[in-house]
Structure 1
Amino acid sequence: MDASEVSNGASPGPGPDSGAGTDAPSRASAIVAVLAAVGVLVSLMQTLMVPLIPVLPKLLHSNASDASWAITATLLTGAVANPVFGRLGDLFGKRRMLLLSGYILVAGSLVCALTDSLVPIVAGRALQGLGLAIIPLGISIMRDLLPPKRLIPAMALMSSSLGIGGALGLPIAAIVAQNLDWHVLFWGSAIATLILMALVTVVVPESPVRGSGSFDLPGAVALSAGLVALLLAVSKGSTWGWSSATTLGLFGAAVAVLLAWGRWETRTKAPLVDLRTSARRPVLLTNLSSTVLGFAMYAMSLICPQIMQLPRATGHGLGQSLLATGLWMAPAGLMMMVVSPFAGRLITARGPKAALLSGTAVMTVGYVAALGLMGSPVGVLVIACSISGGVGLAYAAMPTLIMASVPASEGAAANGLNTLMRSIGTSTASAVIGVVLANMTISFGTTQVPSLTGLRVGFLIGAGAALVAFLVALAIPARKSAAPTSVVPDQRSPHDRPTGAAGAAAGSVAEGTAGAAATDAVEARA
């Protein structure tokens, strides 16, 4: 079967198929390597400014509250970008939207590199946030192009890039911030992104799988407004006051707008997010588990660095510098890369549900063990590595569960929604753990620092979240086949199905012809 037929009549476009003499396995490996590298870079953007947080007010000539918008802006635009760019990718080409997202990230990096003022920095960081859509787009491209035997390990590696980039970002940013001008961080990110976008253009072909219909602009506007209101309330509630009129008003507006958006999505002919597909039990429970898992993952990221950096004189701090903390924590993120091959084999042998259950169980045990291991840097390293290993197993399972339950033509949007749910979980963790550590303190000199009890409560909350994710995962229906190319009936409504030869080809992919279309897409280019 010619893979281009799946594209609803659209040509896959220029890509690496012009190169001769490269066999299919080598081409598939190159696609995986480039997309995983892009994923690492994008996830690094999330930790790029962490070492600068204490000095941001001075650098940007503003107060601490205003300077924090340089962090919040990336969170908000990243949340909006995931479902919107996902749907655009399904309609107009996943690689095309991945490249657009990458070049917007470059633009944001350049804006930040060329200014010392608050407003341009916030604008640049908001543009960088749009780059977060690259990871779900990359996973969907893998689903469309790779042979079945390569697909699950590749998606596991792509998912692990979230942890790898986060782990490398902290020490790299700390070294640059301590020894060079802080603008170097953004020059470096712009140059690295340009190089990787060039590699994507050369190595990664356009996905042949396309959806049909039109882009749901009203739905995109409503979803964006609802998400911004929700995440603003969650991320700024502790600063504004949880009972303040602003916070409560944003929560109320978020509920009203998102309910109206949901009603619209179930009535429009070409929804931004197919809520009927998202309501299927496997998809719904996977997304719920992803939200709680995001909470559980981020709790560790908030607590462990604080233990490392608190002064030893507090009795429970370990007195490490920012750079030393970053170096101690780096192996935790790399652990996600270490477990990704094992996660791929586990998914292949036992199914994605087994990997998700194993990961959340490991995280729960890791958080409980943290209560007795937090007295030394080595102990904190063990805590972080064990929890991150569990995250790696669980994250590897998420895209496989989603892709096995949605039509191929909705893959990018479905992955974007799953990534969004994870972001909501991490944002909620930031708010909840922040409140706990801010209210359970001891006096140290003239300041208040988190108490030992507060840190332990934070670990217990993380354990509870991981346990909830485990219980939700238990309810996910088991599948006979682990692969996303297994039989998945095309349950799109007739208006959204391709017709003719394109419809037959698209249906065969959605209904799982053992990955024939995906194999053809790579081998035809070799």
Structure 2
Amino acid sequence: MTASFMQTLLIPIQSELPELLDASRDTTAWAVTITLLVSAVCTPISGRLGDMYGKRRVALVLMGVLAAGSVVAAISTAAGPLIVGRGLQGVGMGVIPLGISVLRDVMHPDRMGGAIALVSATLGVGGALGLPVSAFVTERADWHVLFWVAAALALVVLVLMARYVPPSTLRSGGRIDLVGVIGLAAGLTGVLLAISRGGDWGWTSSSTLGLGLGGVVVLLAWGAFELRVRDPLVDLRVTARGPVLMTNLASVAMGFALFAANIVFPQLLELPAEAGGLGMGLVPASLVVMPSGLAMLAMSPVAGRLLGQWGPKPLLVTGALVIAAGYAVAVIVPLEAWVVLIINILVGLGIGLGFAAMPTLVMRAVPASETGAANGFNTLMRGLGTTSAAAAVAAVLSLSTVDVGGVQLPTADGFRTALLLGLGAAVVAAVLASLIPPARAHPGEHTSLPADDRPGNR
């Protein structure tokens, strides 16, 4: 929850950063972009390190880095130190897959489903609560207070983890694949920079095309290398197994569906009425969006029970269909504040079901010694979905604008198109989830997650 809180921490003051830091808008945009890039790179790496050296040990280091980054950002008065601090916060977000993977090592099988559902739900809760909390703090205090709050949260979590999380006993050993780390970092950086900054640089600019295509080439070379190395950073043969591959593809689509709503609705709520918006202030708009995270949290015990009764595959399909239903309402019904509230609750319920199912599907299909790396890669896939959603929605909204007081603002048609993209992503997620094959037993598979051969999961 603390790690995901960092994703929405800067949203309330993002437009004010150029003035606050006396820097260009292009420079201050890196305060958001750097966290995305670093977390995407560090998430699969931290998962692999957790498998090798112990999930608790690596998680403690990452939370320490997150706390340090928050302090650096809290004392910053210029763009450079703030970007460095935000990058360190991105490193700390690698704790997310470790938090899920450690459950497989320590939880009783009867409590596994509910535990995974609860921890997975906190990813949405942190992001949903982060927006109104950040808006409230920035309206009543200096913006630096946001990062002092983040540092305090990280330190509290660090102490609680050291006190209550048991040391990992299941480790894979091996060595650090430095070439794999460098190759993955370089490839992902190129692709993610092209996706996240392409709207500002121009989608056909040399920078966007060069970074995007270069990143793809590097990732292809990285994949070829990983198939030949003895101790790969990511075991692509395991990742290519049917259950893991299809779950990861569904995760990309579900990440897109989640983030499309997170981008569209806050803007729609805050835009002036003459531009087709609802003219709400930042805090009231944040409170309308917030229930999606609370719905995820409320759904976690239900998802845990359904996970045991239905299995993860039907749960993932159902979650995607619930999200699709929310988007369908958004496309058909005129959007008022109360309608947006209901839609966000539906999206939160669907994400709560889907996020509970995905880690279970992945962990059932990989050896117990590779759960950290596998969950890290799955988290990366979700991140690719959210990054793609941010770029796609921004591009759609920029193509449909209206002049209001000399300012170009998105139109109702632009928002409708963006919502249709979210609907399409949710439907794609449901289709991909329905195609996930049953997991087969493999050497080293954890006994608390036996292969599920119920008919609903075939």
Q: Deviations over 1:273-325 (max 9, x none)?
A: 000000000000000010111111100001111110011223x3111000111
Is residue 356 of structure 1 aligned with residue 333 of structure 2? Answer: no
Give the aligned partner of residue 488 of structure 1: 441
For 2:149 and 2:334, the matched residues in 1 are separated by 35
State the SS of the aligned residue for 2:188. Answer: helix
For 2:377 and 2:152, the matched residues in 1 are separated by 29
Q: Alpha-carbon deviation of 1:252? A: 1.4
Pairing partner for 1:343 from 269, 290, 303? 303
Pairing partner for 2:181 from 215, 220, 225? 220
Pairing partner for 1:419 from 379, 382, 393? 379
Is residue 273 of structure 1 aligned with residue 229 of structure 2? Answer: no
For 2:335 and 2:389, the matched residues in 1 are separated by 23
TM-score, reference length from structure 2: 0.96
After TM superposition, the structure 1 = structure 2 runs for residues 78-97 of structure 1, keeping only pairs within 5 Å, are 78-97=39-58
Q: Alpha-carbon deviation of 1:477? A: 1.4
For 2:160 and 2:311, the matched residues in 1 are separated by 32
Q: Alpha-carbon deviation of 1:212? A: 2.3
Pairing partner for 1:329 from 276, 289, 295? 289
Give the aligned partner of residue 496 of structure 1: none
Give the aligned partner of residue 397 of structure 1: 357
AA partner of residue 330 (structure 1): M
Q: Alpha-carbon deviation of 1:240? A: 0.6
Pairing partner for 2:389 from 426, 429, 434? 429
Give the aligned partner of residue 201 of structure 1: 162
Is residue 134 of structure 1 aligned with residue 95 of structure 2? Answer: yes
Give the aligned partner of residue 407 of structure 1: 367
After TM superposition, the structure 1 = structure 2 runs for residues 110-259 of structure 1, keeping only pairs within 5 Å, are 110-259=71-220
For 2:58 and 2:335, the matched residues in 1 are separated by 47
For 1:202 and 1:61, the matched residues in 2 are separated by 43
Alpha-carbon contact 1:374-1:380 (below 8 Å) kept: no
**1:114–1:330: structure 2 CA closer, same or farther, 3 Å change rule?**
same
Alpha-carbon contact 2:108-2:448 (below 8 Å) kept: no
Pairing partner for 1:512 from 439, 442, 447? 447
Q: Deviations over 1:63-90 (max 9, x none)?
A: 1111110000000000011111111110
| Structure 1: runs of 5 or more not aligned | 1-39, 480-486, 491-506, 516-526
Q: Over aligned residues, Cα RMSD in angstroms?
A: 1.2
For 2:354 and 2:11, the matched residues in 1 are separated by 25
For 1:264 and 1:374, the matched residues in 2 are separated by 52
For 1:301 and 1:85, the matched residues in 2 are separated by 27
Alpha-carbon contact 1:373-1:383 (below 8 Å) kept: no
**1:513–1:441: structure 2 CA closer, same or farther, 3 Å change rule?**
closer
Q: Alpha-carbon deviation of 1:514? A: 7.1
AA partner of residue 153 (structure 1): G
If asked which structure has higher relative contact order (CA below 8 Å, sep 6+), I would say 1
Alpha-carbon contact 1:488-1:511 (below 8 Å) kept: no
Give the aligned partner of residue 453 of structure 2: none
For 1:514 and 1:391, the matched residues in 2 are separated by 22
Q: Moved runs in structure 1, 4+ residues, more than 6 A? A: none
AA partner of residue 237 (structure 2): R
Alpha-carbon contact 2:53-2:173 (below 8 Å) kept: no
Alpha-carbon contact 1:216-1:272 (below 8 Å) kept: yes
Alpha-carbon contact 2:183-2:222 (below 8 Å) kept: yes
Alpha-carbon contact 2:117-2:303 (below 8 Å) kept: yes
For 2:267 and 2:395, the matched residues in 1 are separated by 14
For 1:435 and 1:376, the matched residues in 2 are separated by 24
Q: Alpha-carbon deviation of 1:374? A: 4.3
Give the aligned partner of residue 442 of structure 1: 402
Alpha-carbon contact 1:51-1:177 (below 8 Å) kept: yes
Q: Alpha-carbon deviation of 1:206? A: 1.1
For 1:302 and 1:422, the matched residues in 2 are separated by 16
Give the aligned partner of residue 14 of structure 1: none
AA partner of residue 184 (structure 1): V
Give the aligned partner of residue 502 of structure 1: none
For 2:335 and 2:198, the matched residues in 1 are separated by 32
Alpha-carbon contact 1:176-1:182 (below 8 Å) kept: yes
Alpha-carbon contact 1:111-1:121 (below 8 Å) kept: yes
Alpha-carbon contact 2:364-2:449 (below 8 Å) kept: no
Q: Alpha-carbon deviation of 1:373? A: 3.5
After TM superposition, the structure 1 stretch with the greater mean CA deviation from structure 2, 192-201 or 410-419, is: 192-201
Give the aligned partner of residue 380 of structure 1: 340
Give the aligned partner of residue 460 of structure 1: 420
Q: Deviations over 1:33-81 (max 9, x none)?
A: xxxxxxx111111101000111010111111111110000000000011
For 2:359 and 2:64, the matched residues in 1 are separated by 25
Pairing partner for 2:62 from 89, 92, 101? 101
Q: Alpha-carbon deviation of 1:385? A: 1.0
Give the aligned partner of residue 294 of structure 1: 255
Q: Alpha-carbon deviation of 1:262? A: 0.2
Q: Alpha-carbon deviation of 1:488? A: 2.9
Alpha-carbon contact 2:239-2:245 (below 8 Å) kept: yes
State the SS of the aligned residue for 1:176. Answer: helix
**1:421–1:513: structure 2 CA closer, same or farther, 3 Å change rule?**
closer
Identity, % of aligned pairs?
46
Q: Alpha-carbon deviation of 1:143? A: 0.7
AA partner of residue 56 (structure 1): L
How many residue pairs are counted as aligned between the two chains? 450
For 1:514 and 1:470, the matched residues in 2 are separated by 23
Q: Alpha-carbon deviation of 1:375? A: 2.6
The structure number with the bigger radius of gyration is: 1
For 1:466 and 1:90, the matched residues in 2 are separated by 32
Alpha-carbon contact 1:94-1:141 (below 8 Å) kept: yes
State the SS of the aligned residue for 1:267. Answer: coil
Give the aligned partner of residue 431 of structure 2: 471
| Structure 2: runs of 5 or more not aligned | 451-458
Q: Deviations over 1:387-424 (max 9, x none)?
A: 12111111110000000000110000000000001101
Q: Deviations over 1:195-242 (max 9, x none)?
A: 111111111111111002211110011000000111000000011111
For 2:288 and 2:329, the matched residues in 1 are separated by 18
For 1:372 and 1:279, the matched residues in 2 are separated by 39
Q: Alpha-carbon deviation of 1:432? A: 0.5
Alpha-carbon contact 1:346-1:354 (below 8 Å) kept: no
Pairing partner for 1:73 from 31, 34, 37? 34
